Structures are given as structure tokens and as C-alpha cells.
Amino acid sequence: MARFSMYLPPLAPDYSGVCSALFDLNGLTVIHDAAGCTGNYTGFDEPRWYGSRKAVYCSNLREIDAILGNEDKFVRNIARAAREQGPEFIAFVGSPVPMVIGTDFEGIAKELEMETGLVSFGFATTGLGYYTEGVEMAGRALIARFAAPAPAKRPRTVNILGATPLDISGKNLAALGGFLAGHGWEVNACLFMGLGMEHLQGVGAAAVNLAVSGAGVRLGAYLRELFGTPCVTGLPCGAAGSSDLAGLLEAAQGTGEDRVLGRGEAAKGASTRDAGMREAAKAASTRDADVWDAAKAESTRDAGMREAAKGASARDAGMREGQSGNPWAGVLVVGEEVWANALGYALWRDRGIPADVGVLFGKSVYGDSMELGCERDIIRAVNDPRYHTVIADPLICDLVGGEKTLIPMSQYAVSSKTRMEYDREWVGEALWEWVGSAECGALGASA
């Protein structure tokens, strides 16, 4: 029950991550379920589905099939669809019911491959993991099966790793491509938006990998094992963040070392002033920390935390205003790991605003971030009396009680198509066009 949600909708699951990673390729994807999970993916987790003719199907699993097995029926149906559609591969994807009955996805994939002669994958997704796990699972399988073994490296080329519409909208991906082109980089392959089989086959030829999500970070580690390609983790949010990320790409190509934009590895290239700002953020006054400890001790496990946020005293507010002499020291950014840390980095580098980061869907590289593993953790974090400003998906902003500045930015894996009006542009200076807007408050205008 730890992941039970009363207020948030179900977040994008692992089978949606697999399907999202495969979507742009010429494959036949079959979700093994009774239609509910397939509808969940196509209706709520895949904005590219609308108006497309992609081959994503439901196996039409029925109760009698769950009881008796009947795998031969599914093999025959999928093989017939493959002969009609002419895909380059087949993917058989799991859901909760096959998990319960112990469906052998790898075994069925081998039968499909023998029956059709097509490369076939079996993904034992359960619907209990997050989409990031599915993206990584599909990426590893595709690379292992299709990537050329030892391609020659092409200087100043980059792979974008872990990009799906669940994290990055089309307009921000286009802006990311413009950022790379503006700094003299050619995109070798984008995994997994606009991906073609020719890109996948040549994925090992890139000079550098750019991981733009937690799944991308783990795929970057896998590609380093296979091809020795260095990986840079980060996104170009804000002016200084964009400049720093460009520098890390150059450094990675030159040294062959992995780099991370943010409070860890990227600090090697930060200026003395920036390092001092980070130390100031870390060294929040003992007096303020004591106030927070007292608030935690007084609150009950769940409802009490929200009530504490609603009724934060004037004394507590005054201490927050005085923290490190910076009136914006109480900012919390909640979201996917790489994006949230890139935005936190931009706040610090461009505006001198220290921010904490709460990570959804698990951590891969940013060890100093808070991991928010369930709705209860999210509610506690966004109502923490230390924070007077919250930047998060609008459905998460709805969980905030009391007087706080809320800056909504939608993530498709959280709010799907329900809050698309909050799909913001955040590459480069475009970030400050909405963070500093009247709608979102004056955070971006503070120096």
C-alpha cells in the first residue's frame, strides 16, 4: 500500500515506457492484456498515438486464456498480424494479469521468431514499475539486437538518450536539437523520438552520449560498456546552464570521461562565485534547521504535515525569508530526475536561487536529491514549511495547502493530456519567459 494514491492519477507504468521507446520504429507491438492497459497507453501515455497509424495492438486476453494458458492462440494471431503488417520486429509486452499467471514472455518471443522469421522481443513488464524502467528495458534490447558491433567514431556527433514524450515535449526536443546544432554538434541518433532503424544501427558511432532522463543515464552506462562512449547527463535550462552543458560536452569528447551537469560533477567547471553560492545554499542557518526539526517532531505522519504547511507561523516565515540573506531560499523543484536537477541548476546559476530537488520515478545519478517514492512523500515534501515556492506538474501543485507560490509545468507521465496548457518551454532563456511571468509569480525576476 506504500504507493497507494488518493489524489494523483496512476503514473505512467513500465509497459508504457517500453511502448513509448518502440513507437517510432517500424515494429509490431502487442500488449498482453484484456484491453485496459492498451487503452491506458494509447489514450493517456502516448501523445503521438493520435492521428498515427502505428501498429500497437492488444492481445485480447480473456479469463479462460488466463486459466488455461492458450499461448498458441496468441502466437498464431500475432504471426498473422505480422504477415499482414510487414514489421521489422515484434514486441510482446506484459501487464499485471500475465505477471500473476507467470507468462513466459521470452519463450513466446522465441516461438514468434521461429514462426515469422522476424526479430521478436518479450518484455516481462508488470504494470507495477514506472515507465523509466520500461524505457531502459526496451533500449537495452534494441541496442543489443540491432546496433552495429564496432562502428568508427564520428567527431562532434551526439546521441540523445532517454527522450520520450513522457518526459520531453516535441517543442522542447526541437529546441534541444537547436541548442546542439548551435554549438556545432550533429545528432547521430535520438533515442527514442524520431528514431529510425538506421540510427539505431549506428548508435555506437557517436563521440558523446547526452542523457536527458534517468533511463538515459542507465542507457549511457550500457553504451559505455559496449562502445566506450562517454556520457554527459543534463539539459540546457537557462543561459548559464546551457553554456555549462556545452562545455561538458566538449570536455567529455576531449577526455572520454562521463560528466554530470548539476551539483556534483559539473561543479568542477563552475566559477568561484558559483561554488560559493552552492556552499551558502548548503549552509542554511542552524536556527532555520532547528525550526524544521521542530515542525517534523510536532506533525503527525500524514495530515499533520499538510496542516503544518497551512498554518506556518510568522516566526517560521521570517526565518525562511532571512535564510542565507536570500528571499528565495525556500524553492522546491519536483519532477523527473534530470529535468528537475537541470532546472534547479538554472535557478542557482542564472538567478542565484538555491533550490532543493524532489525526484519522481527513482534516482540514477543525483544522490543529493530527495527521492519521492509515493504520494505521501510528495505531499510531505511540497507542504514542507521550509519551501514557499514549488515548481512541479500542476496535479502535484494541487496537493499544496496554504500560501505558497506555485509554478506549474506539466509532465506527460504525471498529468497526461489533462494539463497540456502547462507544457512550458525551458531550453535556454525560454525558461525565464514563463518562470518570471505574472501567471507564475516573480521568481525569475529575483536576483
Query: HEC string of 177-228?
Result: HHHHHHCCCEEEEEECCCCCHHHHHCHHHEEEEEECCHHHHHHHHHHHHHHC
User: Phi first, then psi: what are they for 261, rounded to 5°?
Assistant: -75, 125
Does 420 score more than 80 pLDDT?
yes
Give 63's pLDDT tier (boundaries 50, 70, 90): confident
Mean pLDDT in residue range 232-239: 96
Helices (H) and strands (E) in the chain, counts: 20, 14
Amino acid 271: pLDDT:
37
Cα 438 versus chain centre, distance: 28
Taking only the tens place, the pLDDT of each residue in 319-365 is 333 333 334 458 999 999 999 999 999 999 998 888 999 999 988 88
Measure Cα distances from 284 to 50, 279, 281, 313, 355 in Å: 48, 9, 6, 19, 12
Give 4's pLDDT tier (boundaries 50, 70, 90): confident
Give me the amino acid identity at 415: S
Amino acid 71: pLDDT:
84
Amino acid 14: pLDDT:
97
Specify the pTM: 0.83
145 SS3 class: helix
Mean pLDDT over the full length of the chain: 84
Q: Which domains does the chain have, with CATH numbers?
A: 14-144 (3.40.50.1980), 146-273 (3.40.50.1980), 282-445 (no CATH)
Does 51 score more than 60 pLDDT?
yes
Taking only the tens place, the pLDDT of each residue in 382-419 is 999 999 999 999 999 999 998 899 999 999 999 999 98
Residues 236-272 as b or e (16 or more Cβ within 10 Å = b):
bbbebbbebbbbbbbbbbeeeebbbbbbebbeeebee
| Cβ count within 10 A of residue 434 | 17
Mean pLDDT in residue range 435-445: 53
Altogether, the residues listed in the chain come to a count of 447
- C-alpha 166/C-alpha 185 separation (Å) is 25
In the numeric block, which cell numbers belong to residue 116?
515469422
| Percent of the residues in the chain that have a pLDDT greater than 90, as a whole number | 67
Taking only the tens place, the pLDDT of each residue in 79-106 is 999 999 999 999 999 999 989 889 999 9
Does 275 score more than 50 pLDDT?
no
Amino acid 265: pLDDT:
46
Q: Between 116 and 36, where is the model more confident?
A: 116
**Which residues lie closer than 8 Å to 439 by C-beta, 6 or more apart?**
none
Q: Among positive and negative, which fits the CA dihedral 36, 38, 41, 43?
A: negative
User: Phi first, then psi: what are they for 29, rounded to 5°?
Assistant: -105, 125
Amino acid 366: pLDDT:
87
Torsion region of 51: left, alpha or beta (phi above 0 gives left; psi -120 to 50 gives alpha) = left
Lowest pLDDT segment from 306-310, 319-323, 372-376, 428-432: 319-323
Amino acid 68: pLDDT:
75
Amino acid 35: pLDDT:
79
| Cβ count within 10 A of residue 118 | 17
Does 148 score more than 60 pLDDT?
yes
Measure Cα distances from 427 to 7, 343, 346 in Å: 30, 10, 10
Mean pLDDT in residue range 242-257: 97
Does 295 score more than 50 pLDDT?
no
Mean pLDDT in residue range 281-305: 39
In the 8-state DSSP scheme, what is residue 424? Answer: -
